[in-house]
Amino acid sequence: MPSRLSHARPLHPAVQHSDAAADAVPASSGRRRALATIAGASVMTLVDPLVRAGAWAAGSDAPEKTEVRIGFIPLTDCASVVMAAALGLDKKHGIKITPTKEASWAGVRDKLVNGELDAAHVLYGLVYGVQLGIGGPKKDMAVLMSLNHNGQAITLSSKLAEKGVRDGASLKALMTKEKRDYTFAQTFPTGTHAMWLYYWLAANGINPMQDAKAITVPPPQMVANMRVGNMDGFCVGEPWGARAIADKIGFTAETTQAIWKDHPEKTLGTTAEFVQKHPNTARAMVAAVLEASKFIDASASNRRKTAETIAAKSYVNTDMDIILDRMLGRYTNGLGKTWDDPDAMKFYQDGNANFPFLSDGMWFLTQHKRWGLLKAHPDYLAVARQVNRIDIYKQAAAAAQVPLPRSDMRSSKLIDGVVWDGKDPKAYADGFKIKAASSLAA
């Protein structure tokens, strides 16, 4: 074996078997032995042996497109995409990732749909919205992997704090007592932050469709808009919740991990067309980002290095400490409370933060139905099976040596005590007391 391969990982048994078969060719069969040797070399030089043993063994498994543009919004949870490129993990899998900074989720959506971006760090619910033609043009989409769990927050204004608001219950009490227009911001109509905000308000007896006004604001603009009084509160990804506290204009009323522990958040999303044309490239992207996810979660020092990297102007463009504290689970709510949160943003969790569970995608559809974004029940499971490309993920997980969960579904209990397990999505969507008027009539 060539010396440059001497440190390769042990071969998958299927690959070992094929090499042994080549060695078994009689010496007199020179031509056959030469061909077997060439084939064995190509097995080693193209990709990781574990990948070679996968279901796509027929034909070349080299990436069809070797340079890919992956869009991102300036948020802490873009980290695994950025670090995949910064650490050179993309090259390990035969591609070059160019992270491209985008201004809004609507911009990310449009560039994915028209092909300006090959893939993106993108809201889970945005991908499903495009799939069903809500929140933008209709196009078949793909969730290749989940990028993170947890790590978002609901921030309320300091003006509310001055009136005694500390949490959802006291917000409800104030809104009942002082009648006026209350405005809350999310980042995209079908996105994760809209769903966390609405769910939290409803869990506290506030109907977000009737008792308040919801507006859409891009994540990096949240703090500036609250500073000038454009909203009473917002839900957004870090570091913008922490930034509002540092700037003394707001406080954390709830973390999203308190709404749903280990909730799905951002995905590596693309179009179904891209996966169809470039399946090996899609697999390579996932494998590279998986390895970056492992790196980030491996140690506090790795998280520090990550925070230092993404704090740069070309990425999140804020103070490193603002990013790092909540990455490490060091929380303050801006009202004097501090705590260490074991459920802070997770990028890996032995692959549990990355697996595209079908039930995760289905949950967003139930909330889209609950809030009137969908007028009728879709075939929840069929849509999730079409969008969440578990086949691509499993191939990439083999390449990155990432364990797989036992099931494509998972079960969780949310802040209101209601359990979501994906078994009866129609009953779940219809079972909420507080929902949109259009949902009530459906």
pLDDT tops 60 at residue 408: yes
pLDDT tops 90 at residue 34: no
Q: Report if residue 92 sits inside a domain.
A: yes
How much is the average pLDDT of 357-377? 98
Q: Which residue range forms the structural domain that includes residue 306? A: 67-148+264-329+346-356+373-408
CATH code (residue 276): 3.40.190.10
pLDDT tops 90 at residue 33: no
CB 349 within 8 A of CB 410: no
pLDDT tops 70 at residue 66: yes
**Count of structural domains, the chain:** 1
Q: Report if residue 248 sits inside a domain.
A: no
- The pLDDT tens digits for 316-353 are 999 999 999 999 999 999 999 999 999 999 999 999 99
Cα–Cα dist 379/129, whole Å: 14
CB 101 within 8 A of CB 248: no
Q: Report if residue 291 sits inside a domain.
A: yes
Cα–Cα dist 240/47, whole Å: 39
Q: Report if residue 102 sits inside a domain.
A: yes
Cα–Cα dist 237/345, whole Å: 10
With cut-offs at 50, 70 and 90, classify the pLDDT of residue 135.
confident
- The pLDDT tens digits for 42-54 are 332 344 434 443 4
For residue 221, give the DSSP letter: G
Q: Report if residue 58 sits inside a domain.
A: no
- The pLDDT tens digits for 292-317 are 999 999 999 999 999 999 999 999 99
Q: Report if residue 417 sits inside a domain.
A: no
**In this structure, how many other beta carbons lie within 10 angstroms of the beta carbon of residue 264?**
26
422: left (phi over 0), alpha (psi -120 to 50) or beta: left
**Nearest-10 crossing angle of helices 380-387, 124-132:** 110
Long-range Cβ contact pairs of 294-302 (< 8 A, separation 24 or more)? 294/348, 294/400, 294/402, 295/83, 295/87, 295/89, 296/79, 296/80, 296/83, 296/347, 296/348, 297/346, 297/347, 297/348, 297/349, 297/353, 298/348, 300/328
Task: Write down the pTM of the prediction.
Answer: 0.87
Q: Report if residue 379 sits inside a domain.
A: yes
Cβ partners under 8 Å of residue 15, min gap 6: 43, 49, 52, 53
Q: Report if residue 315 sits inside a domain.
A: yes
Spatial strand order in the sheet of 250-255: 213-216, 183-186, 233-237, 152-157, 250-255
Tokens of 153: 């927050």
For residue 11, give the DSSP letter: P
